[in-house]
Amino acid sequence: MASTTTEQTAIEEIGPGQFRSKVNPGRMGNSKPIAYGGCTLGVATRAAYTTVSPNHRLYSLVGHYLGPASTTERLVCIVHDTRTTKSFTTRRVVVQQAQPTTTGGEEPQQTQMRTCMELIADFHAEEPAAPGKTYSAAPSHAYAGPSDQSETPVVLTSVLTAAETAAAARSRDVFALHERFFESRPCREGVAAQNLNGMLKARPTTQDALPLADRTSAEWMRNKTSLETPADQAAALAFCLDGGLAFLPLTLDRGWLDDVDACSSLDFALRFMTPHPDFNRWHLRERKTIAGGAGRTYSEGRLWDQDGNLVAVMSQQSIMRPKPEKTENKEKASRL
Identify the CATH number of the domain in which residue 43 sits.
2.40.160.210
Nearest to 48 by CA among 63, 58, 62: 58
What's the pLDDT at 227? 98
pTM of this prediction?
A: 0.91
pLDDT of residue 85: 97
Per-residue pLDDT of the chain (336 residues; tens, 9 = 90+): 899 999 999 999 999 999 999 999 998 866 677 899 999 999 999 999 999 999 999 999 999 999 999 999 999 999 999 999 999 999 999 999 998 766 556 665 668 999 999 999 999 999 999 999 999 999 999 999 999 999 999 999 888 899 889 988 888 888 899 999 999 999 999 999 999 999 999 999 999 999 999 999 999 999 999 999 999 999 999 999 999 999 999 999 999 999 999 999 999 999 999 999 999 999 999 999 999 999 999 999 999 999 999 999 999 999 999 999 876 555 554 554
pLDDT at 108: 58
**pLDDT at residue 329, as a whole number:** 54
Cα distances (Å, whole numbers) of residue 104 to 101, 107, 109, 111: 10, 9, 11, 15
> End-to-end CA distance of the chain, in Å?
45
Predicted local distance difference test score (pLDDT) of residue 173: 87
With respect to residue 268, please indicate whether it lies within any of the assigned structural domains. Answer: yes
Q: Is residue 107 part of a domain?
A: no
- Based on the structure, what is the number of domains in the chain? 1
Beta bridge partner(s), residue 62: 120, 269
Domain presence at residue 21: yes
The answer as to whether 211 is a domain residue is yes
User: Taking the alpha carbons of 119, 123, 129, 130 in that order, is the dihedral positive or negative?
Assistant: negative
DSSP code at position 6: H
The DSSP bridge pattern shows strands 56-65 and 296-305 to be unpaired
The alpha-helical segments, DSSP class H, found in the chain are 5-8, 37-50, 162-174, 176-181, 191-195, 230-241, 248-252, 328-335
CB-based contact 246:318 (threshold 8 Å): yes
Helical packing angle, 230-241 and 37-50, nearest 10°: 160
Give me the pLDDT at residue 13, please.
97
Instruction: Decide if 133 is inside a domain.
Output: no
Q: DSSP for 78-128? A: EEEEEEE-SSEEEEEEEEEEEEEE-STTSPP-EEEEEEEEEEEEEEEE--P
* Residue at 142 is within a domain: no
- C-alpha 32/C-alpha 167 separation (Å) is 18
Q: What is the pLDDT of residue 168?
A: 87
| Short-list 33, 95, 29, 102, CA closest to 70 | 33
Q: Return the pLDDT at 171.
A: 87
d(CA 126, CA 54): 11
With 0-12 CB in 10 A as exposed, 13-18 as middle and 19+ as buried, what is 301? buried
Say what the pLDDT of residue 335 is.
52
Domain residues for 82?
5-99+113-126+148-327
